Structure 1
Amino acid sequence: MSLKSTFKGFLGETVINVAMWLKLEKDVYHRLNGITLPRANGGSTQIDHIIVSVYGIFVIETKNYKGWIYGSENQKQWTQAFPNGSKFKFQNPLRQNYLHIKTLADLLGLELSYFHSMIAFIGECELKTRDELPEHVLTGGMV
């Protein structure tokens, strides 16, 4: 991972973190950021944001991307494309966040029904396959 992409990821996560701090009632929503958890088969997984509330546990994957985003719910990889014709593949964030939720549920001994997945795209991107994606894949209004 390049320094530039690491910085963009950090910046995106910081934007969401500040928005949550400003907008969410602190006595109702408890925020955790940048949580690394061990996986059952070895290795680890890093969760951008977790919000614990009486409404459930919200697990948020943040993507700070530009360009056009193509993908469907069941694809392994999605594509980021630019007007100049360049394209880049990246892991389907829905699948990525499912792994986060499954890991967290297993560690806490909770059923998956307590968890809510959210994918927050920030930056100047446009989801070109909006009709093929669940409502919890957002490009705005996340908080």
Structure 2
Amino acid sequence: MIFDAIIPGAILFSIGGRFLRRQLKGDMGEQSVSLTIRGMGLPIQNNVTIPGKRGLTQIDHLVLTRSAIVVLETKNYSGSLYDNGRGKGGSWIQKFPSGKQNNLHNPLDQNYGHIKSVGTIVPGVPVTGFVVLAGSASFPNGVPDGVLMLRDLKRKLKEMDRGEGPNPASIQDAWNKLQQVDQRDSASHREQMRQVTGGGMTYWLQAGAPWLTGAGVALVLGGFFL
């Protein structure tokens, strides 16, 4: 009888834990970037959801500098990364000492779409962006243009924020508008997740990862102690 609870619990824990670890790793990377920027005293918006070309799009960070609004996409990767190009068919190759490797969607393409979405909302205002690597990953063949290691982020933002006086009125107005269109309600968040995951089982597994993991732990413990 004990295995009647332990085996299903272990399965739930394994499935939920895999999705939950991925979420927590991403959250840790985004938090490290946010803390770095807040420590500089620059205005920042995190987890921004705005209209995009194909519906809602989620942006990890928007930063206000004197020269431009900066769009940041954070990735908390490890291993060795190799840039395989942009556009259709482009990807990053992630390799580990064990010999395992993954094909990753090129985040530069992802962030390009974010930059375009922001530019559509605030036309005529300088908008630029970078992919920030917050993990231990490295590029043995050189870091691609548009990518910043976390240690280089502060230097780059300082360069963009140089100058005397307040932010130009047009950039400040654009910043205020982006705050207004940011859709932070839970319904918009769920809709954006459905678009990214394609809906179906993947969406439910990602959204329910904490519950699946907790249920798995409860079943395993119940199998031992009940």
Q: TM-score range by the shorter chain?
A: 0.7 to 0.9
**Contact 1:79 1:90 (8 Å CA) reproduced:** yes
Judged with a 3 Å threshold, the aligned counterparts in structure 2 of structure 1 residues 63 and 41 are, in CA distance, closer, same or farther, namely closer
Give, in whole Å, the separation in 1 of the partners of 2:139 and 2:86. 16
- The structure with the largest alpha-carbon Rg is 2
Mapped to 2, the partners of 1:99 and 1:8 lie a distance apart of: 23
Report the residue type matching 1:138 in the other structure.
L
- Does the CA-based 8 Å contact 2:84-2:93 persist in structure 1? no
Give the length in aligned residue pairs: 134
Which of 134, 140, 148 aligns to 1:138? It is 148
Matching residue of 1:40: 53
SS at match of 1:8: helix
Letter in 1 for 2:28: L
Greater shift, 71-80 or 48-57, is seen at: 71-80
| Counterpart mapping for 1:77-116 below 5 A | 77-110=91-124, 114-116=126-128
Contact conserved, 1:94 with 1:119, CA < 8 A, in 2?
A: yes
Question: 1:117 & 1:72 partners in 2: Cα distance?
Answer: 20
CA contact under 8 A between 2:118 and 2:127: conserved in structure 1? no
Residues of 2 paired with 1:66 and 1:72: CA distance? 17
Deviation at 1:72, TM superposition (A): 4.3
Give yes or no for contact 1:72–1:129 (8 Å, CA) kept in 2: no
Corresponding residue SS for 1:130: coil
The one-letter code of the counterpart of 1:59 is V
Deviations 1:85-110 (A, max 9, x none): 11111111111110000011112233
Q: Secondary structure at 1:110's aligned position in 2?
A: coil
Q: Structure 1: which 5+ runs fail to align?
A: none
What is the RMSD computed on CA atoms of the aligned residues?
1.8
The structure, 1 or 2, with the larger RCO (C-alpha pairs under 8 Å, 6+ apart) is: 2
Q: 1:72 to 1:110 in 2, by over 3 A?
A: farther
CA drift at 1:57: 0.8
> What is the Cα deviation at residue 31 of structure 1?
0.7
Aligned to 1:20: 37
TM-score (norm 2): 0.55
TM-score (norm 1): 0.84
Give 1:2 shift.
Answer: 1.6
SS at match of 2:153: coil
Q: Is the 8 A contact 1:78 1:89 kept in 2?
A: yes
SS at match of 2:99: coil
**5+ residue gaps in structure 2?**
1-17, 155-226
Contact 1:33 1:49 in 2 (8 A): yes
Contact 1:73 1:94 in 2 (8 A): no
Measure the CA separation in 2 of the matches of 1:41 and 1:120.
Answer: 24
Residue of structure 1 equivalent to 2:201: none
More helix by share: 2
2:54 aligned partner, one-letter code: N
